[in-house]
Homo-oligomer: A and B are copies of this chain.
Amino acid sequence: MSNKPKTAITPTREENYPEWYQQVIKAADLAESSPVRGCMVIKPWGYAIWENIQKELDRRFKATGHKNAYFPLFIPMRYLQKEADHVDGFAKECAVVTHSRLEADEKGQLQPAGELDEPLIVRPTSETIIGELFAKWVQSYRDLPLLINQWANVVRWEMRTRLFLRTAEFLWQEGHTVHATEEDAMKETLQMLNIYADFSEKYLAMPVVTGEKTEAERFPGAESTFSIEAMMQDKKALQAGTSHFLGQNFAKSSSIKFLNKDSQEEYAWTTSWGVSTRLVGGLIMTHSDDDGLVLPPAIAPAHVVILPITPKDETRQAVLDYCADLKKALEGQNYLGDPVRVELDDRDIRGGEKTWGWIKKGVPIRVEVGPRDMEKDSVFYGRRDKAAKDKISQELEAFVAGIEGLLGSIQETLLLKAKAFQKANTQTLESKEAFEAYFKSEDAGFASAGFCLDPQLEDQIAKEYKVTVRCVPTKTVNETAPCIFTGQAGKRVIFARSY
């Protein structure tokens, strides 16, 4: 640490973005790979971010009438057979449970035993099993809408994994709802999409484009899939949440029927929607810099860290007491309706190591308090959204009284910065030539362009340019735009490279 490099994270974003991402996670102690291939361990600092995400989303789900429930981890293999019947060359990457016991053989080596009559699949998503149950729960129009959410772990046997962005096991929520009419189901689908978008902006300070996916990117079985798409600092798109209008497809395959007011039996209309621990990856890649993680206050496990400076033994206790009082005073203030979250770091380690540790962890405000600050009844603080050396002295009472505003200002700064970045890296393209020129550069961002939505052409573009249609943005969905490739009538879409 004696030759501290210019940046706390090596390599920098510019030098090697994917490796920078891994190093930010490591330096902030958010997560790590586990001995089980593709499964990550979410460490306390990373998990606390996920808990804050859960808390606010859960509040919003409940405020819109949803209730939480819990469904089995396992899905009988035959439930997936239905899907296989429709999909050519079906191959599903998933964890298959085939035995129910371990037994030691004559050499004392454990072996799987108790073979199951039917293999069970560890849920990759729960539409099939939940559909089976909803068919029993829904009988009459009086049972509708049925608005259920589940917080759970799911498993998809991914080959190439990356912490938070793509892991074999991940944590998520999956909403599953049933409605009497097409209109209600579509309203729900869009309501949840908007909750995701608003949450991303307000809490993660991560601006997103909302829109509908093309046929190629649609969830299997859905009539329409909507998503929120965020721009990372390498200008690639991250699909950060999806909301599916399932029409009557799942209702038909699961027999979810109800008696309407005229005592006629009808198939119901369903939706599903989800976000996952991938949001944490999006958060990291939206705000962090070459000194490590940068956390928006709304989602930070700690808003403020207090760092006592105790150069002399004789003032040590007084400084520590002053810091403890400051902690209490700050905790008496609110931010977003909850008490301000404060860490007091009185570990007996070198000051520089301590300060840089918290910078790398992304805490929005660092407060240094030494004997001189105490004498002046003031604090000396730095904001994570400014340079590490850019610190300010302020009278203690004013600092405490202004903490809510200060946190709000950091939150706003991060959002504005991310918005400006997205805007600066989104171009409207009017021709195929402009498209080719734009995406020739590794540095290309989002392109807004007219597209005829032909699936074959879309596939060809993906192969040729490694660029996909992220969505037909909600904002311009009612406009037409000539396709820049074919000249045919089309819609304005967002093209981008993506995670």
Contacts and interface: CB of A to CB of B under 8 A. Distances in A.
Interface string A59-103: 000000001111111111100110011000111111111111111
Given A67-B48, A98-B99, A112-B96, A122 B91 contact: no
Copies of this chain held together in the complex: 2
A119 interface: yes
Interface residues of A, number: 68
A108 B84 contact: yes
A398 interface: no
Contacts of A289: none
B119 A112 contact: yes
Contacts of A380: none
Nearest to A348: B142
A120 B36 contact: yes
A76 B121 CA distance: 18
Contacts of A75: 36
A72 B41 contact: yes
Contacts of A72: 34, 36, 39-41, 169
B122 A76 contact: no
Contact of A90 (B47, B92, B104, B148): B104
Contacts of A94: 100-102
A347 interface: yes
A155 interface: yes
Contacts of A427: none
Contacts of A93: 100-101, 114
A43 interface: yes
A71 B41 contact: yes
Interface of A: 32, 34-36, 39-44, 47-48, 50-51, 67-77, 80-81, 84-85, 89-104, 108-110, 112-114, 119-122, 129, 132-133, 142, 148, 152-153, 155, 157, 169, 171, 347, 349
B96 A98 contact: yes
A112 B92 contact: no
6 contacts: A32-B133, A34-B129, A47-B67, A90-B104, A91-B104, A112-B119
Q: Top 7 A-B pairs ranked by shortest CB distance?
A: A39-B72, A44-B67, A96-B99, A42-B70, A96-B112, A100-B157, A92-B102
Contacts of A44: 67-69, 148
Contacts of A101: 91-94, 96, 157
Most buried by B among A70, A99, A101, A157: A70
Nearest to A85: B108
A133 B42 CA distance: 11
A36 B97 CA distance: 12
Contact of A103 (B42, B51, B70, B91): B91
